[in-house]
Every structure is written in structure tokens, then in C-alpha cells.
Structure 1
Amino acid sequence: MNQITVKLQVPVEHDGRTYNELVFREPTVADMITAEKFEKETLESNAVLLAAMADVSLPVIKRLKVYDYNACDTLTVPLFLPPDKRPGEGEDPNVEAVTEKP
């Protein structure tokens, strides 16, 4: 899993293009530096990072409905982890594995 596709509940239009889904790649240090130019932990810096990871312009992310933005934010979390620490295909990245002791 080197990328994650998020299907949007409400498509976004920008510059004559309609986005029904966004494909996010792993973030790079350059992406983080670009986002860091905004105050840390702000919504805008996170939006800048998501735009970079999806290779779209910032207005595309800004036009997302809040629930689509939240889905993008949540579902891309595994891309920040090393590949061997990411959930497997089909696993919910938001649910930690629970094992019972015998």
C-alpha cells in the first residue's frame, strides 16, 4: 500500500475538472516542509499536506465537504507509517488489532 484512494461523497470541481476520488501517495519531507510554512497543527497546514500527497492544488482540498476532508485525513494516516507497520489490505486502519491472552 503505497497509495490510498478516497472516493468522495460529493465530487469537487476545479479548473474544469471534476474529482470523484483523490489518490494519496506517501508524504515526503518536501511535503512536510511545505506544510510547515503554515502554523503547526492548523487545518490549513494539514490541507496543504493533503493537497501535496494527492498532487492536486490546494483549492481542490478546500472545496471538499467536511466529511470528505475528514475521510481523507483519517484514511491517509497509514501512509505516514513504515510499510511493515501499515494495516494489511482490507483491514480498517482505524481499528487496532486486539489479541486475547489464553
Structure 2
Amino acid sequence: MRYLAVFGVALSLGCISAAEAPSNYQTYTGIRVDSDPVLLARYDRALSYCERESVSWRGSPDTRSLRYNTALRNCFYRRSFVDRGYYAYPATQVFDHFLDR
């Protein structure tokens, strides 16, 4: 049972992407970041802060690692930016119409 839990955690971390484009993010209230210049400026400040934080003490110097991606996404969540749903994780693109069949 423990092996399945460890496998599940590893698989969930493997599906994390670190999309840094503003069009992939929205606020907690559902407003897209690229729709408002004030939000876009706030996002740019958060991105510069979160990239530094994710490379240093919270994440990893390797920007392609899962630890870096997790730290970057965590920092964005703390700054009130969340992913926009369907295209936030690459696993949803793989199983796009799997259940439709």
C-alpha cells in the first residue's frame, strides 16, 4: 500500500508543468492575467520574485526539474495566481477525449 502511495505522489509531481505565460494564469476570482494591464504588471513582479525563489532555497537550480516547477507554482499560488484549468497539466492533453469513446 505504501508503494502505491509513493507511486501516486511521484506520478502527480510528474504531471506538473511550469507554464510561465500570463495567458495560462488567472486570479482566484477568475480574472485572466492577460486581460488587465494592472494584473499583468503584478504578475510580472510575481514572476521575477518566484523565479528567484524557485532557483534558490525553495526549489532547484535546474529549471527543468520537478522541484523547480513545484516551487514556482507554489509561489504563484501564494501570490494569488492559479492555473486556468484544462491546459494547466500536460496529462489532461494526453487523455483529451479518452472517456468520450
Q: Structure 2 length as normaliser, TM-score?
A: 0.30
Richer in helix (by share): 2
TM-score normalised by the chain length of structure 1: 0.30
* Bigger relative contact order (CA 8 A; separation at least 6): 2
